[in-house]
Amino acid sequence: MSLLEINKLYAKVNGRQILQGLNLEVGAGQIHAIMGPNGSGKSTLAQVLAGRSSYEVSGTVRYKGEDLLQKSAEERARDGIFLAFQYPVEIPGVNN
């Protein structure tokens, strides 16, 4: 069983088609890098997987056998799928 299985994923924002029929399968223990030039859809894929509501999405995304697209962003975060700041804002009095 795949950990993450994406089939025919399409994503559109503000009338602009970004992802067009993306397929991806990631098995447990595998590491994949998503690479490409600016504007190729890397951030859109991350936003869609995390559940950002501004995208019109079709296709299927299964995570651990469950339909990820039917889950809220909060449910996805509880499952470990969320976006974090690359350079988090420093908060006075809070140490790493």
Report d(CA 37, CA 61) in Å as an integer. 24
Q: What is the pLDDT of residues 7-53, one digit of tens each?
A: 999 999 999 999 999 999 999 999 999 999 999 999 999 999 999 99
Global pTM value: 0.85
Residue 50 lies in a domain: yes
**Segment holding 77, helix H or strand E:** helix 73-78
Q: Is 87 exposed, middle or buried (0-12, 13-18, 19+ CB in 10 A)?
A: exposed
Helix, strand or coil, per DSSP, at residue 11: strand
Residue 93 lies in a domain: no
Residue 10 lies in a domain: yes
Q: Longest C-alpha distance within the chain, in Å?
A: 46
Question: Structurally, how many domains does the chain consist of?
Answer: 1
Question: Residue 72 is part of a domain; what is its CATH number?
Answer: 3.40.50.300
Containing structural domain, residue 19: 2-78
**How would you classify residue 40: left for phi > 0, otherwise alpha for psi between -120 and 50, otherwise beta?**
alpha
Q: What is the pLDDT of residues 70-91, one digit of tens each?
A: 999 999 999 999 998 877 778 8
Residue 94 lies in a domain: no
Residue 11 lies in a domain: yes
